Chain A
Amino acid sequence: MLLQANGISVQFGGLQALSDVDLDVTAGSITGLIGPNGAGKTTMFNVICGLQSTTQGRVTFEDQDVAGLKPHERARLGLARTFQRLEVFGSLSAYENILVAAEIRSRWSDEKVDSKKVTEEVLDRVDLRRVAEHRVDTMPTGLARLVELGRALACAPKLLLLDEPSSGLSEEETVFFAALLRSLTAEGLGILMVEHDVELVMDVCERIHVLDFGRKIAAGTPPEVQADPAVQAAYLGAAGADDAA
């Protein structure tokens, strides 16, 4: 198992943001993490990459307990992520965004990293060559999301956490994006994805975890999750779930 999170609980003052959540991701597969707004999906991402401490629970990455490791130390183990609210380097070009990620990797990686070569490869892979020299804060959201993805890929991660990656993407870009994700997993990369585009999730994910009010209410394959009454109730409300049934 690439990533395993067991019994994760997070409390913000009086609010229980996550309550005893289990989650796992295997290498070479796409796992979905879905749920209505406020379900705790981004908090779960923050817990995994070390931006949020837990009140309870344990996260292991490749069987190593990552408790106490800072975000940059977790990244060096092979964990990369994108953000729901864009966290691009706005004053740099798309090329420089990816280059700086490769250069940062070359600082900590034991492998010899040819930063420029990596950047060229990633640019082609995420199809950003045409806007490589554009400043990222002048780009539309969809392209900026691809820059974030490219930047994460430049770190050569083993696990990629994608937080609403298709938000702002056009239909055409979404199709390209789905194909890209599949090709990445074919190379052995594990992906955990928070996504509101249900069609995309059902299309690319092999397994889905569903959160609601900080609790895991369902997990399974896309058809299993779709048929789950608790999931329908969470998304449509109890009455809606009855109608759907």
Chain B
Amino acid sequence: MDQFLSFTVLGIVTGAIYAVSASGLVLTYATSGIFNIAHGAIGMFMAFTYWELRVHHNWPAPIALILVVFILAPLFGALIERVMMRGLRNASVATSLVVTVGFMVALIGLAQNIWDPQEPHVLQRFFYPHKFKVFGINVTAHDAITIAVGVALAVFLWFLLNRTRVGLAMRAVVDDRNLLGLNGARPDQVSMLSWAIGASMATVAGILLAPILQMDVIGLTLLVVNGYAAAMVGRLRSLPLTYLGGLTLGLIETYAISYLNLSGWLIGLRPSIPVLFLFIALLALPEARLRSGRLIGASMPRVPGPRKAVLGGVGLVAGAGVLSFILSNANLIRAGQGLALAIIMLSLVLLVGYGGQVSLCQMTFAGVGAFMMGKYGGDGSIFGILLAGGVAAVVGGLVALPSLRLQGLYLALSTMAFALLMEKMFFQNEHIFGTGGSLKIGRLDIFGISFDGERAYFVLLAFVFAAFGVFVLWIRRGSFGRVLAAMRDSPVACATLGLSLTRTKLAVFMIAAGMAGIGGALLGGLKTTAGTIDFLMLQSLPLLLLAVIGGITSVGGALLGGMLFALPTLVSWAWVGELQFLWTGIAAVTIGRNPNGVANQITERFRKILGTSPRSGSPTPRPSEPVEEVAQVATAS
């Protein structure tokens, strides 16, 4: 019984931290409409800042705490709102997700460069090793402080929102921002205050959690997923339900760790409990109601005709052929990696660029493809590639089917949850990639033509990219491409024309997953192995960001995105490679508002230099305009 009570206290402690983190997330979302994927990264960064002051510079804890929690964190939160989030207010979910994911990746990169991950960073529990007994159970001072802080913050939030003028304004800004402004309040300042409080709460959660777990950049950042799960219980609105969700998750997780003794295939279940909780919370959400009233006019680059597309593809393969004689074998592998990733990014062009559906698990599908190729592709048979694409497509369908009732943000989060689930349950399972953590993958051999050499494989990758590029453009020009564009612009109008949104989304998800699967199999073939750490959820994020930077609405954008990945290693700019998370994140934050990316800007520059303007009568391209509301007509009845 004592043991059960000890675990319960532990569960409440963990749950209180999740609740604090999740409440900050809900507060910022409710007052700005932007889901801050980087919430955990803010907590992580501030926890490290606290470590820097407290441990590295030996500041007294109270002073370091006051400076970090009450001054630096709120200033950071307010700055984020002012510089980054305010401009995203009317942006599409896809755009705001890309920007916040970019910010998260940038913070991870920055933290890893300031605080070397190879060096240990230890943060001691508060008043360690003090403990005391309550009903015969040992409770550490840190645990007691955590519970007290959780309760105090719950009371503070309740008081703030229900008993103060500013709290009233915070609740009002959710309902009608413009109306609040007309009534003399300052909605922008209200949002800024919410972000300041939200950042402080993320910081408190980070500082309380860091000693319990470890000072680990990725670990602390991803703990926000547990916060997401709690926030989903409160449906991103209700703070009491969010608190309840946090406590429930903390208890379930602790009981599972303490009492569940799993082995074999189920060994990954225990660490997956928060993700499973998130997945179930998301699936339990009611079906999203289609809403009218937002006109999204996504600017799209010009779509090349079939002849141009094929000529471009032939040019790419020819260029790759020439390059294969110039580059060294090591560089062919590096550049080939860029091409393989570009193939995976092409799947994002179809899914995100054309269809407007955000996926944060494309590397997971690539991993499924690599696994199928390694396990059943023999020594590089074409059957393995087909199986890679087919099985990835089926997996894509299986994950998409229950989630497709959801829209925008929730759909993106469910793909993130799926990626994490696969990471823990599948890729890190010793039955998948073997005990050594890697699986041998053969290079393709088609009807006796071997692509075993570096040169041949590089040209093959260029050929596959070109073929998929022509395929994607063929889809874009055709009926299905128009339907995707229509669904992205106005799902509600599509539904009232008789289109089944679920079937259409399912189709595009499956095609994109299949493409990513083939890309993964080819990537595995390039490296000749695939391992447990090759297909992590965190790798799907830079993939999406680089595709956005290149231009998620064009084939050229995917190619550029892939090359941006390979470039630092190709030109031996080691420092660029080391800072890849940082520059990718910063670039995504700045370019993420323009879905057509750098590739389209380069094309338009060339077009201007060459003096070729769009054909008269063709749709007017507006390449630099972000996806956002462009018109709202009339008032509600």
Contacts and interface: CB of A to CB of B under 8 A. Distances in A.
B349 to A, nearest CB: 15
Interface of B: 289-290, 292-300, 479, 482-483, 485-486, 488-490, 492-501, 617-620, 630-637
8 contacts: A75-B495, A80-B497, A81-B496, A90-B489, A90-B490, A92-B485, A99-B482, A105-B497
Given A51-B292, A85-B633, 5 more contacts: A37-B637, A71-B496, A84-B292, A99-B482, A100-B483
A55 B489 CA distance: 30
B483 A103 contact: yes
A29 to B, nearest CB: 22
A92 B493 CA distance: 13
Contact of A71 (B296, B495, B633, B635): B495
A100 B498 CA distance: 11
A4 interface: no
A41 B637 contact: yes
Interface residues of A, number: 56
Nearest to A40: B637
Interface of A: 37-43, 49, 51-52, 70-72, 75-76, 79-81, 83-93, 96-97, 99-101, 103-105, 107-108, 115, 133-138, 141, 148, 151-152, 155, 163-164, 167-168, 194
Contact of B292 (A83, A99, A105): A83
B497 to A, nearest CB: 5
A100 B482 CA distance: 6
Contacts, number: 155
Contacts of A104: 483, 486, 494, 497-499
B495 to A, nearest CB: 4
A167 B490 contact: no
Given A49-B496, A75-B498, A167 B634 contact: yes
A42 B138 CA distance: 62
A53 to B, nearest CB: 9
B637 to A, nearest CB: 4
> Which interface residue of B293, B497, B617, B630 has the most chain A CB atoms within 10 A?
B497
B637 A84 contact: yes
A51 B490 CA distance: 14
Contact of A85 (B290, B293, B500): B293
Contacts of A136: 297
B497 A90 contact: no
For B494, B498, B617, B631, the residue with the greatest tally of chain A CB atoms inside 10 Å of its CB is: B498
Given A72-B501, A137-B631, A90 B295 contact: yes
Contacts of A105: 497-498
Nearest to A96: B482
A83 B299 contact: no
A70 B495 CA distance: 8
B29 to A, nearest CB: 20
A87 B634 CA distance: 12
B496 A89 contact: no
B620 A42 contact: no
B564 to A, nearest CB: 26
Given A103-B483, A194-B637, A51 B619 contact: no
A3 to B, nearest CB: 15
A92 B619 contact: yes
Nearest to A115: B479
A89 B290 contact: no
